[in-house]
Amino acid sequence: MGVRIKATGTSRGAGTNSIVEHSGLAARNSLAQAGIQPEQVGVLINAGVFRDSNTVEPAVSALIQKAAGIGLDYHSKDDARTFSFDLMNGAIGVLNAVQVASSVLETGGVEHVLIVSGDTHPSLARSAADAEFPYATAGAALLLERTADAEGFGRVHTATAPGTPAVQSYVDTATMGTVGRGLMTVEREPDFADRLLGVALEAALAALADQDLSGLALIASTPTPEFPKLLADALGIDQDAVRTPDLSDGDPHTAALPLAYDRAVTEGTLGGFTRVLFVAAGAGPSAAAVLYQLPA
């Protein structure tokens, strides 16, 4: 048995900078693509980090669940229930969510798990990255299901490196005053990209475990536009096998992996490949990697 991607969904632009709205729309798009009803989603996991107005409570997953119209009708004790929660671990959060979703689906208690991710500036006043906040506004969704076939996600491998976090984000309570809900400080160390590349390489090599690189596509996080291709070079993967999201507005951060996969599927650029290596690296520095066997 495996766990595979049944459908994807994305949302950008659409006249809003709300990550709740974008993630909710991405979720609805994935359900429409799969042709399933909201009540067939047993668990929703939100891996986004930067949220509308720096919302702390309630869990943003609950707001996204409402925006997506999932699990809202409880007329009787037999109505389907959907459990949702936030799982925040920066750029690698989606792959951590894949770990959790795989465990949930393996129990057989739910039909589908929906992973949503995406980030926005807390002020909701911008959608493109800039020098102070290097992340683009976008929402993405991965709808996962069990399969009896030899396809889907393998084991997720993680790695960490010692020292300072390389990248960190926080609300500076000493200077926020009365406008803290619209502020976020992001600090990147001068060598952050090199340090993220090192830990990403460690996780990727663990996931590959000396496997043949033939038929392998690479989808990696995008802390810099060049990061996926630098990782491909380090792994010995052909540059033509790298698939990236649309980076015209900057790094989509937690949504980078599902956006890149959705783009590759939509544009039909995974033809000829049998596997995808997903790799993400972010604050810590930390990284995660997993091999995905494409459906035949």
At residue 83's C-alpha, the angle toward residues 82 and 88, to 5°, is 135
Element (H, E) at 66: helix 60-68
State the pLDDT at residue 80. 66
- Enumerate the domain spans of the chain: 2-150, 157-293
State the pLDDT at residue 79. 60
Order of strands, edge to edge, in the sheet holding 83-86? Answer: 2-11, 138-147, 112-119, 41-46, 83-86
Whole-angstrom distance, CA of residue 33 vs CA of residue 232: 31
For the CA atoms of 38, 257, 133, 136, the dihedral, rounded to the nearest 10 degrees, stands at -60
Task: State CA 145 to chain mean position distance.
Answer: 17
Whole-angstrom distance, CA of residue 221 vs CA of residue 48: 14
Positive or negative, the CA dihedral 10, 16, 17, 19 is: negative
Rg (CA), the chain: 18
Specify the DSSP class assigned to residue 150: S
State the pLDDT at residue 171. 86
CATH class entry, domain 2-150: alpha beta
Cβ contacts of 102 within 8 Å, gap of 6 or more: 3, 144, 153, 156
Element (H, E) at 26: helix 19-34
Q: Is the domain covering 157-293 a CATH 3.30.470.20 domain?
A: no
Bridging pattern class, strands 216-220 and 275-282:
parallel
Whole-angstrom distance, CA of residue 288 vs CA of residue 215: 21
> Residues 54-93: pLDDT tens digits?
888 889 999 999 999 998 765 556 666 788 999 999 999 9
> Residues 182-197: pLDDT tens digits?
788 889 999 999 999 9
Query: Is the whole model's pTM more than 0.85, yes or no?
Result: yes
If you average pLDDT over every residue of the chain, what do you get? 92
Give every residue of the chain whose pLDDT is below 50, as ranges: none
The two tokens of residue 181 are 């809900």
Whole-angstrom distance, CA of residue 189 vs CA of residue 51: 23
State the pLDDT at residue 3. 92
